[in-house]
Amino acid sequence: MHPIRYNNLMFTDTHCHLSYLSERGFDLSAVLAELALSHVPCVIDAGTKAGDLSERIALITDALSRISTNGTLSDMISASGRSPEDIKKEALALIRYTAGIWPDPDAIKDREAQIKTLRSVVERSLKGEDGLPSVCCIGECGHDHHWNIAGADHRDEADFASAAMFNAESELFEMQIELAREFNLPVMVHTRDAFEYSYDSIKNMGYNNGEIHCFSYSIEEARKFLDLGWYIALGGGVTYTKKSKQEAMDTLIRYIPDDMLLLETDAPYLAPVPERGKPNSPLLIKHTYAYIAERRGITPEKLAELVLTNTRHLYGN
Ligand SMILES: [Zn+2]
């Protein structure tokens, strides 16, 4: 895979899954080196399982250790005129981590134990124990009622045949909002085909601090979340809106205030046009920036600047 040059445009990616990139054919070392060489200021690696933080960090640490002047990265590194150590340092500094529990049926059923594990992970991370970096938020967590057993999430409607499962899913989400409140952290919300459920949980908890990741609803739902103070994160999916929905999408893109907008890849999923259908990486977010900047009538540079400001405002420096 050829690295993409994007001229130091500082494209923040507020949500991706770096640990899945290798499975999708990426050389994670090359991606990390390229991010550092392109001066990407911040990439947030999102957790999905209660205890996955150490594993994710181990994978990234291993990939960083392979950044050297030998092998496949040698050309890229020598052309940059920078030392591998310098690049590693920059790559390490730009990655932020979250910890959270995605609403998987098994996790929902086992929610009490799962929350216990998550609490201990967050506590250790915030204290810097076991060499863990501080997590910047709780998530991704929320609701998913998009049934597609063949999809990446393997959603099976049969798992949710009872009302009890829907309630338990909300309970798992609300326990994570409570945890975020306890640790004074923002929440990264996953909500797909389940607006009422997620909105009810959020209203119910009265803790409005976080983002709606990969926002997939319309302008009315955006307004409701924005009114409560939630940031809206758009992903590559916006670049392949159906023709019949293009106008509504453009209105939504312009509707989100400058100070409430975030941009993400959800890599390795949802690659933006013109890479749609291929595995996604944070390096491809430039296409989403170009698409959204054009519709908002600003330059990608200006958009990059405001997304970075919003990211720092929500998740700290
Ligand atoms: Zn995700």
CATH of 13-315 among 3.30.1550.10, 3.40.710.10, 1.20.1630.10, 3.20.20.140: 3.20.20.140
Q: Mapping DSSP to helix (H, G, I), strand (E, B) and coil, where does residue 238 land?
A: helix
Kindly state the DSSP code that residue 184 receives in the 8-state scheme: T
Q: How many whole angstroms from 47 Cα to the centroid of ligand 1?
A: 8
pLDDT band of 1, cuts 50, 70, 90: very low
What per-residue confidence (pLDDT) applies to 143? 98
Q: How many whole angstroms from 121 Cα to the centroid of ligand 1?
A: 19
The answer on pLDDT for 5 being more than 80 is no
The pTM of this model reads 0.95
Domain boundary assignment for the chain: 13-315
In whole angstroms, give the CA distance from residue 86 to residue 67: 10
Q: How many whole angstroms from 140 Cα to the centroid of ligand 1?
A: 7
The two tokens of residue 211 are 């983002």
Phi, psi of 50 (to 5 degrees): -50, -40
Q: Of 192, 277, 235, 255, which Cα lies nearest the Cα of 12?
A: 235
pLDDT band of 8, cuts 50, 70, 90: low
Q: How many whole angstroms from 110 Cα to the centroid of ligand 1?
A: 21
Q: How many whole angstroms from 90 Cα to the centroid of ligand 1?
A: 24
In whole angstroms, give the CA distance from residue 52 to residue 117: 10
Q: How many whole angstroms from 14 Cα to the centroid of ligand 1?
A: 10
pLDDT tens-digit series, residues 66-91: 998 777 778 888 888 899 999 999 99
In whole angstroms, give the CA distance from residue 273 to residue 170: 34
What per-residue confidence (pLDDT) applies to 192? 97
pLDDT tens-digit series, residues 217-260: 999 999 999 999 999 999 999 999 999 999 999 999 999 999 99
pLDDT tens-digit series, residues 117-150: 999 999 999 999 988 999 999 999 999 999 999 9
44 in Cβ contact with 13 (< 8 Å):
yes
Q: Are strands 13-16 and 261-263 parallel, antiparallel or unpaired?
A: unpaired
pLDDT tens-digit series, residues 20-65: 998 899 999 999 999 999 889 999 999 999 999 999 999 999 999 9
Question: For the residues of 39-67, what is the DSSP string, one character each?
Answer: T---EEEPP-STT-HHHHHHHHHHHHHT-
